Structure 1
Amino acid sequence: MAVVNSNYEFIMVDAGINGRISDGGVLNYTEFGRALSNKLLQNPEPRELPNNFWRIAQFPDVIGVIDCTHIAIVPPKIDDPVNPSIAYINRKGFHSVNVQAIFDSQLMLTNVNAKYSEAVHDAAIWDSSNIQTHLGQKYEDGRRNCYLLGDSGYHLQPWLMTPILETRPNTPEEQEYEDNDNSDDILKRLVTAAILILLQFQAIIF
């Protein structure tokens, strides 16, 4: 599966849903790959990206922000052996997939994972994604100067930084958290803007 909008660049690494082209911005995986086979980007690399995030929020070595959001889908057949309709009904009563997306500092979509139903938690999607494996391998290979920023729904990793939920008063950790609080707000707004971009796409058709 791939989503595309003429105003945004994008890369597809994890895709498990085949759709067909529609007015809502859903593009068939095969057609998309054929059209852009020579133009697909690769997984985020630590080049200019960390400098861009530093200019925005004084966070060093950040290559992207990550979050998940529910995207509505046209329900699959009730008796579908692979994608039964009931597996995609979310808590609000409509069918959706939980889409993981990574954006850079310019709100360019750099990675999408749309394999999973609404029932799969954000952290579980991340744990099984190719980009998590990619960044983990980079870390093991000695590339220690790049990471993503995620919310508290993710667990802390050397290549995925998450908020400090509780700090002890009058400690260096608390002071550092307070110093970065404004930067954290900036990044939260960036994530919100990125998710709003995703929500511009209408229902995915199985």
Structure 2
Amino acid sequence: MPIFRSYIGLFREISIGQNRGRGFFHWTLIVKRTSSPNFNDPVDIYQIGYNPASCEWVRMHSEEKLKTNPHLFALVSLPSINAPDATSLRNFLLAESPTQDGTPLAEGRSEWSGSQWTTRTIQHLLAKHWNVRYGTAAKCEYSLDGHIEDKAYVGVIQDGVRVLSLRIDENYQSRSSALAALLALGKKT
């Protein structure tokens, strides 16, 4: 089975339909089509947006080069996806409901959002057992606001794209409010 690199894409808040976001970043799920570590080739971007004309959340999919997107802030590296093939993975992600359905809202949130959709979609991938497990003890690594330069905390720049590492470890003591919230949400739902 092919292995696809996956990421949470953090984009500076921009209007996605009617901008209903209350967070600092718009979250997306990004899947690379190749195992190459560079970002010169187009990637698949899966996300949701609010359509004010129909007053509903809609799924959105695009293919683009990340290097040329001025709104991209960073990528958070996730465990790779080991899907049967690219079509199966694409169909699975496009079938993910854009609406809240019965998903509980994250603590502190009053409405559905792209971050919650992305988190739920990652949970569904984990339930499908398509994620490759890391072989070493892993941890959530993130700290751009503390002027820390250690790449274990701020990631690395690959082809002009910042890539942070998110690795899930049950024993990890949280140092990050943003990504620790993601881990906490995953344990609650």
Greater relative contact order: 1 or 2 (C-alpha under 8 angstroms, separation 6 or more)? 1
Between Structure 1 and Structure 2, the one with more helix by share is 1
Whether TM-score is above 0.5 comes out as no
Q: Which has the higher strand share?
A: 2
Q: What TM-score do the two structures reach when normalised by structure 1?
A: 0.29
